[in-house]
Amino acid sequence: MDITFRSIGIIHTPFKVKEGMPIQPGGAQGIKGSIILKEKYTEGLADLPGFSHIYLIYYLHKSSGYNLQVIPFLDNTFHGVFATRAPRRPNAIGISVVRLISIRKNILKIENVDMLDGTPLLDIKPYIPEFDILEVENRGWARDISEKVKQYRTDARFK
């Protein structure tokens, strides 16, 4: 059964090609972007400016096909695709928490963007610590990535 969504707007970022992009918002500190929401949804933004961080859920529109085992950008061994945030996945859905700077009418200014320019936006949700901050006991292969996230950039492996 097909599940069909429609873009609610477009995310604009400085990243025109897939190579050389930051890896997750953690690698994109201070990088500015914007969202142009379709005007018909503007009323749905009411009260969003009160939140400093928001989830963006988006369509990884330049990603095609997938492998079930991948080497993610931050590692050098294969992992199951569902144990990674690699863009080539059975459903090409991305999520990122970005900083919300301002909203004017249907235009959102955001920061810490890690997605391609022109990315179709599917949803915006407020980032709420009570829901979204969890105490983690284990983080699998992603144990020692704090420094890597800041330094590494994307390469051609997910063309």
Residues binding a second copy (CB under 8 A) = 1-8, 24-26, 41, 43-55, 57, 59, 68-69, 78-85, 89-91, 93, 95, 97, 120, 122-134, 136-142, 145-146, 149
Q: Residues 6 or more apart from 125 whose CB is under 8 A from it?
A: 54, 55, 57
Nearer to a second copy, 15 or 100 (CB): 100
**Rounded-to-integer distance, Cα 148 and Cα 135, Å:** 22
Provide the minimum distance between the beta carbon of 117 and a second copy in the complex, in angstroms, as a whole number.
17
**To the nearest whole angstrom, how small is the minimum distance from the Cβ of residue 17 to a second copy?**
22
Task: Give least dist CB 12 to a second copy, A.
Answer: 17
From CA 86, how far away is CA 73, in angstroms rounded?
8
Report in angstroms how near the CB of residue 94 gets to a second copy at its nearest: 9
Tokens linked to 99: 């900083």
* Closer Cβ to a second copy, 18 or 125, answer by number: 125
* 118 phi and psi angles, rounded to 5 deg: 90, 10
Beta pairing, strands 119-126 & 107-111: unpaired
C-alpha 153/C-alpha 47 separation (Å) is 34
